[in-house]
């Protein structure tokens, strides 16, 4: 099947009336995803594209639509509040696409969500896609900003901190005839809602995921933690890639979390930990699918 | 965003942290009058420190041979003389590289009588997503070295962000530094103030090195932040107008400042293969691929997810201002972005900049056929590639040719 979302998962969009949120809601609808409600405080009663009802609050949207997942597109100053509102309304899954949320806000959100039943993915992430079985994977569940058509329904799980690098991996898989169970972008921020390890565990337990591609980058130690767990527990073949071998220390490489500081978070250390865990690490980003095929 | 020491000390003082009295200045005359005030207040000695975003200031050497970016002075005349020698002069330290850094500002402050030195920092613990306070009895030295040679000397405390730092926790940290008696309170107050500064200013890091026990003129002692380094989370600047104004463009590379005007994320590196990519992860791995095939990347450049023709043109202009560049690689995975828009941008930019350097283009994704057609029919000289590896190989061989 898939993890986190299925083709019939009902999704609401917070920030549906913004240009970015609106554009990607439209693309998700075209992909065949079940976008059942939108939330923009003060705009209740309106409809997005004459189709999706808009509500003032997440709670009302959930009551009326039965949504279990949310995509957040609201601007950075209001994003932490949007995440907390979604959790308060009892959503199972909240996917924060917004880029540029202050770290302090995310520290508070993460602390507030401790022990909560809500799973947060993101922020600053491309979102989640569980491909459908139609033409160009139409009919799947697309939450976020990833291009739907590059996917293909299948049994490989993909997890990554980066957007376009994920698309690169997915496209390589699809071109090699390997479909995906679910593709999860956890985002490039230093305080992510879900880590590599959180998602790897879900893939490990998913009977319909046969192999995993894990894409990481410099900064932090989340890849090392995932590798240590994989070494002891993972039943499935894992291939990987780490971006940033050539990144200079002390400089932020685009993503807020992609920084080598105090000698920590280097690509070398991550690659070493992954290889030690038996993960097939691609030498170049062109070989991510190949690295997995070798060990399937 | 990094701050200067004097700016860091201003923020710390606003949050109740004891810092040595002093002021920044940009002329030798101002330096003298600040020093005169400090001497009139009874201070026996002042310290003058150049304000640049770089470590190793004390041991740096100016381009004209003048030694040291940190000086102790006993008279206002001496301050004037040293300030004249340093202001407008360019210093090379172990962190500036050969180009060095021009000195625009000095901090003139009272030179405290230091009894002992410690280390204190507040930062984000990425493993737990909580604030982390680190203290060490070994102050005034490189903390990374301490972590390697004597890790037990570093005491760490994670703070519950919803509760904040509790007074007893601050006292325990002060005790961990070996402070006793009344100094426990002085130390705890300072630690609490530093944590508050970190939290309220949305800092990525606050580092006090050294944190010192200093002796007052009357012989009593107190704890003070003798040096301070603060970096601020750039995402938070919308709610800190005062801190945003502290940005010093003199300290940033010219091309990086230029790129930021166009919302481009550009970092200059030392190689000769330029790259233009959409997305941070793809941009990093494009650099890696160039290196893998024996080349050396000239830059990191992420044009973002929704790049326009104007941004692509600006990106080319910035890349071409780097005289080391011998070849350019454009690597675009147009997921949602229309590849044809990018292709049109590349053609326009190549024409506008009268591009003569070899250009390798790898396009993939949405509307890619139209994009490839636009490129091939444009008449501009370029090399197409069908994968990242292929593109990297080709651009490396062009740069070496």
**pLDDT per position as a tens digit, A4-53:** 999 999 999 999 999 999 999 999 999 999 999 999 999 999 999 999 99
Fold (CATH) for B253-400: Rossmann fold (3.40.50)
User: Which one, of A202, A238, A166, lies nearest residue A3 by Cα?
Assistant: A202
Residue with tokens 């941009």: B283
**pLDDT value at B336 more than 80:** no
User: Which one, of A130, A131, A127, A162, lies nearest residue A145 by Cα?
Assistant: A127
Dump pLDDT digits (tens) for B247-285. 999 999 889 999 999 989 999 999 999 999 999 999 999
Q: Would you place residue A204 in the very low, low, confident or very high pLDDT band (cuts 50, 70, 90)?
A: very high
Q: Does A211 lie in the same domain as A117?
A: no
* Cβ neighbours of residue B123 closer than 8 Å, sequence gap 6 or more: B131, B132, B134, B198, B204, B205, B206
Chain A residues with CB under 8 Å of B388 CB are: 168, 284-286
> What is the C-alpha R_g of chain A?
18
Contact A167 B333 (CB under 8 A): yes
Chain B residues with CB under 8 Å of A247 CB are: 284, 287, 300
Chain A interface disruption, residue of B143, B284, B297, most A CBs within 10 A: B284
pLDDT at B150: 86
Contact A103 B305 (CB under 8 A): no
Contact B336 A147 (CB under 8 A): yes
What stretch of H or E contains B231?
strand B229-232
Q: Retrieve residue B88's tokens.
A: 């407008």
- Which of helix, strand or coil describes residue B121? strand
* CB-nearest partner of A221 from B126, B282, B305: B126
Chain B residues with CB under 8 Å of A24 CB are: 336
- Please report, rounded to a whole number, the percentage of residues in chain B having pLDDT higher than 90: 80
CB atoms closer than 10 angstroms to residue A50:
6
Report the pLDDT averaged over residues B219-229: 95
Q: Would you place residue B401 in the very low, low, confident or very high pLDDT band (cuts 50, 70, 90)?
A: confident
Distance (Å, rounded) from C-alpha B340 to C-alpha B334?
A: 9
Distance (Å, rounded) from C-alpha A252 to C-alpha A219?
A: 9
Query: CA-nearest residue of chain A to B1?
Result: A252
Overall domain count for chain A: 2
* CATH number assigned to the domain comprising residue A187: 3.40.50.261
**pLDDT value at B139 more than 90:** no
Q: What are phi and psi of B289, to 5 degrees?
A: -65, -40
Q: Among the three residues A102, A121, A140, which one is the final residue of a domain in this structure?
A: A121
Q: Does A228 lie in the same domain as A101?
A: no
Q: Retrieve residue A183's tokens.
A: 């593709």
Is A28 among the domain residues?
yes
Q: Does A271 lie in the same domain as A176?
A: yes
Chain A residues with CB under 8 Å of B389 CB are: 284, 286-287
Q: Does A80 lie in the same domain as A33?
A: yes
Report the pLDDT averaged over residues B95-110: 92
pLDDT at A203: 98
Report the pLDDT averaged over residues B374-400: 93
Contact B364 A171 (CB under 8 A): yes
Q: Does A230 lie in the same domain as A107?
A: no
In angstroms, what separates the C-alpha of B161 from chain A's closest C-alpha? Answer: 6
Q: Among the three residues A72, A101, A121, which one is the final residue of a domain in this structure?
A: A121
Residue ranges of the alpha helices (H) in chain A?
19-31, 58-65, 76-88, 103-113, 163-175, 196-205, 222-233, 267-276, 288-293
Distance (Å, rounded) from C-alpha A21 to C-alpha A143?
A: 11
Chain B interface disruption, residue of A246, A258, A281, most B CBs within 10 A: A246
Dump pLDDT digits (tens) for A103-127. 999 999 999 999 999 999 999 999 9
* CATH number assigned to the domain comprising residue A94: 3.40.50.720
Q: Retrieve residue B295's tokens.
A: 């080349």
- Overall size of chain A counted in residues: 296
Is A134 among the domain residues?
no
Domain B113-244 in this protein, CATH class: alpha beta
Is A248 among the domain residues?
yes
Chain B residues with CB under 8 Å of A76 CB are: 235, 238
Distance (Å, rounded) from C-alpha A150 to C-alpha A12?
A: 23
Chain A residues with CB under 8 Å of B336 CB are: 24, 27, 145, 147
Contact A167 B291 (CB under 8 A): no
Compute CA distances A12 → A29, A71, A77, B122, whole Å.
Answer: 12, 6, 20, 38
B21-110 CATH: 3.30.1490.20
**pLDDT value at B125 more than 90:** yes
**pLDDT value at B82 more than 80:** yes
Alpha carbon dihedral B271, B275, B281, B286, in 10-degree steps, equals -70
Query: CA-nearest residue of chain A to B280?
Result: A254
Annotate A122-157 with DSSP letters as a single string.
Answer: -SSS-EEEE--SSGGGTTSEEEESS-GGG--EEEEE
Chain B residues with CB under 8 Å of A75 CB are: none
Q: Does A232 lie in the same domain as A168?
A: yes
Active-site residue list of B: 119, 207
Is A196 among the domain residues?
yes
Distance (Å, rounded) from C-alpha A161 to C-alpha A73?
A: 18
Q: What are phi and psi of A144, to 5 degrees?
A: 120, -140
Contact B287 A258 (CB under 8 A): no
Give the start-to-end residue ranges of the domains of chain B.
21-110, 113-244, 253-400
Contact B287 A256 (CB under 8 A): no
- Which of helix, strand or coil describes residue B378? coil
In angstroms, what separates the C-alpha of B137 from chain A's closest C-alpha? Answer: 19
Q: Does A157 lie in the same domain as A59?
A: no
In angstroms, what separates the C-alpha of A64 from chain B's closest C-alpha? Answer: 31
Report the pLDDT averaged over residues B83-88: 97
Query: CA-nearest residue of chain A to B260?
Result: A254
Compute CA distances A140 → A131, A151, B127, B201, whole Å.
Answer: 4, 9, 33, 43
Contact B281 A225 (CB under 8 A): no
**pLDDT value at B55 more than 90:** no
**pLDDT value at B67 more than 80:** yes
In angstroms, what separates the C-alpha of A63 from chain B's closest C-alpha? Answer: 30
User: Which one, of A148, A218, A217, lies nearest residue A183 by Cα?
Assistant: A148
* CB-nearest partner of B278 from A164, A166, A190: A164
pLDDT at B148: 82
Query: CA-nearest residue of chain B to A76?
Result: B235
- Which of helix, strand or coil describes residue B117? strand
pLDDT at A254: 86
Distance (Å, rounded) from C-alpha A235 to C-alpha A237?
A: 7
* Cβ neighbours of residue B229 closer than 8 Å, sequence gap 6 or more: B2, B3, B5, B8, B205, B206, B207, B209
DSSP β-bridge partners for residue A10 = A34
Contact B267 A253 (CB under 8 A): yes
Distance (Å, rounded) from C-alpha B346 to C-alpha B343?
A: 5
Is residue A255 annotated as a catalytic residue, yes or no?
yes
Distance (Å, rounded) from C-alpha A294 to C-alpha A282?
A: 11
Contact B162 A285 (CB under 8 A): no
Contact A245 B291 (CB under 8 A): yes
Q: Which domain holds residue A26?
A: 10-121
Q: What is the ipTM of this complex?
A: 0.93
Contact B131 A77 (CB under 8 A): no
* CB-nearest partner of A247 from B239, B284, B302: B284
Alpha carbon dihedral B197, B199, B201, B204, in 10-degree steps, equals 100
Report the pLDDT averaged over residues A260-274: 90
Q: Does A274 lie in the same domain as A231?
A: yes
User: Which one, of B215, B195, B212, B192, lies nearest residue B203 by Cα?
Assistant: B195
Chain A residues with CB under 8 Å of B144 CB are: 262-263
Chain B interface disruption, residue of A195, A284, A287, A291, most B CBs within 10 A: A284
Contact B389 A286 (CB under 8 A): yes
pLDDT at B194: 98
Tell me the whole-structure pTM to 2 decimals: 0.94
Chain B residues with CB under 8 Å of A190 CB are: 124, 126
Q: Does A167 lie in the same domain as A111?
A: no
- Which of helix, strand or coil describes residue B128? coil
């Amino acid at each position: 099947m898939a993890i986190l979302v299925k083709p019939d998962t009902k999704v609401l969009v917070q920030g549906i009336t913004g240009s970015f949120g609106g554009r990607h809601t439209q693309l998700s609808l075209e992909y065949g995803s079940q976008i059942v409600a939108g939330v923009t405080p003060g705009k209740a009663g309106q409809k997005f594209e004459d189709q999706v009802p808009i509500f003032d609050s997440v709670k009302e949207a959930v009551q009326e639509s039965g949504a279990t997942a949310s995509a957040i597109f609201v601007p950075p100053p209001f994003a932490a509040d949007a995440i907390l509102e979604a959790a308060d309304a009892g959503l199972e899954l909240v996917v924060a696409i917004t880029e540029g949320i202050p770290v302090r806000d995310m520290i508070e959100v993460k602390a507030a969500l401790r022990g909560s039943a809500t799973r947060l993915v993101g922020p600053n992430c491309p979102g989640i896609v569980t491909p459908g079985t139609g033409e160009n994977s139409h009919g799947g569940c697309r939450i976020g900003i990833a291009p739907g058509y590059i996917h293909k329904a299948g049994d490989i799980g993909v997890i990554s901190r980066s957007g376009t690098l994920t698309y690169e991996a997915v496209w390589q898989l699809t071109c090699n005839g390997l479909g995906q169970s679910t593709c999860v972008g956890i985002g490039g921020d230093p305080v992510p809602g879900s880590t590599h390890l959180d998602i790897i565990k879900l893939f490990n337990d998913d009977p319909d995921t046969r192999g995993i591609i894990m894409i990481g980058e410099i900064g932090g130690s989340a890849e090392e933690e995932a590798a240590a767990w994989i070494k002891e527990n993972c039943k499935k073949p894992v291939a990987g890639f780490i971006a940033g071998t050539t990144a200079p220390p002390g400089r932020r490489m685009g993503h807020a979390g992609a920084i080598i500081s105090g000698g920590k978070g280097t690509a070398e250390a991550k690659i070493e930990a992954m290889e030690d865990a038996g993960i097939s690490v691609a030498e170049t980003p062109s070989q991510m699918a190949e690295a997995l095929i070798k060990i399937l | 965003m990094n701050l200067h020491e004097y700016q860091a000390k201003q923020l710390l003082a606003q949050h109740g942290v004891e810092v040595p009295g002093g002021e920044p200045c940009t002329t030798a005359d101002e330096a003298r009058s600040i020093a005169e005030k400090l001497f009139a207040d009874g201070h026996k000695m002042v310290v003058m420190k150049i304000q640049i975003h770089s470590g190793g200031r004390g041991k740096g050497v100016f381009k004209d041979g003048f030694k040291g970016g940190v000086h102790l002075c006993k008279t206002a005349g001496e301050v004037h003389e040293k300030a004249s020698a340093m202001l407008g002069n360019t210093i090379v330290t172990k962190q500036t590289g050969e180009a060095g850094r021009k000195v625009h500002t000095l901090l003139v402050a009272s030179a405290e009588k230091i009894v002992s030195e410690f280390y204190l920092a507040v930062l984000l613990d990425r493993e737990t997503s909580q604030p982390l306070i680190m203290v060490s009895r070994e102050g005034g030295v490189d903390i990374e070295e301490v972590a390697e040679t004597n890790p037990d000397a570093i005491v760490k405390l994670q703070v519950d962000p919803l509760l904040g730092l509790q007074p007893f926790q601050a006292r325990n940290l002060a005790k961990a530094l070996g402070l006793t008696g009344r100094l426990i309170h002085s130390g705890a107050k300072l630690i609490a103030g530093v944590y508050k500064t970190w939290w309220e200013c949305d800092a990525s890091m606050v580092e006090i090195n050294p944190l010192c026990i200093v002796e007052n003129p009357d012989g009593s002692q107190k704890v003070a932040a003798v040096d301070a380094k603060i970096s601020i989370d750039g995402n938070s600047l919308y709610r800190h107008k005062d801190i945003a104004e502290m940005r010093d463009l003199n300290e940033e590379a010219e091309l990086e400042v230029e790129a930021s005007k166009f919302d481009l994320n550009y970092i200059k590196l030392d190689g000769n293969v330029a790259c233009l990519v959409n997305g941070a992860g793809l941009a990093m791995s494009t650099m890696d691929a160039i290196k893998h095939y024996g080349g050396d990347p000239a830059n990191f450049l992420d044009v973002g997810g929704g790049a326009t023709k104007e941004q692509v043109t600006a990106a080319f202009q910035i890349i071409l201002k780097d005289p080391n560049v011998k070849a350019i690689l454009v690597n675009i995975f147009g997921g949602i972005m229309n590849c044809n828009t990018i292709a049109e941008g590349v053609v326009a930019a190549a024409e506008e900049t009268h591009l003569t350097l070899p250009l390798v283009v790898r396009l993939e994704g949405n509307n890619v056929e139209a994009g490839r057609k636009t490129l091939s029919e444009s008449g501009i000289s370029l090399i197409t590639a069908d994968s990242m590896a292929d593109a990297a190989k080709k651009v490396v061989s062009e740069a070496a040719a």
